[in-house]
Amino acid sequence: MKKSMKLSVILILVGLFMIAVGLLLVFLVIMEWEVWIVELALTGMIIIIIVSVILIAIGVFIIIKFIT
């Protein structure tokens, strides 16, 4: 493999991994929604959702950048 090809494959895999981690965090929040206390829902869940959205956005950006 060429060095540039190997680098782009690695970056696409990193992007997919970030998307997977972000989706995993979203699903954990959805599954634990009823269990958590209201205070945790107001602080912790919002932070987790923001982090997961950022991870998904970065992953999608990396993949789109190297596909086009």
What pLDDT band is residue 67 in, cutting at 50, 70 and 90? confident
Closest-CA residue to 50 (of 25, 17, 19, 24):
25
Residue 35 confidence (pLDDT): 56
Q: Between 64 and 2, whose confidence is greater? A: 64
CA distance 41 to 32: 10
Q: Which residue has the tokens 């205070």?
A: 39
Cβ pair 15, 64 in contact under 8 A: no
- Residue 45: both structure tokens together: 């869940």
Closest-CA residue to 29 (of 15, 14, 43):
43
Residue 57 confidence (pLDDT): 84
pLDDT tens by residue, 30-62: 776 655 555 556 666 677 777 778 888 888 887
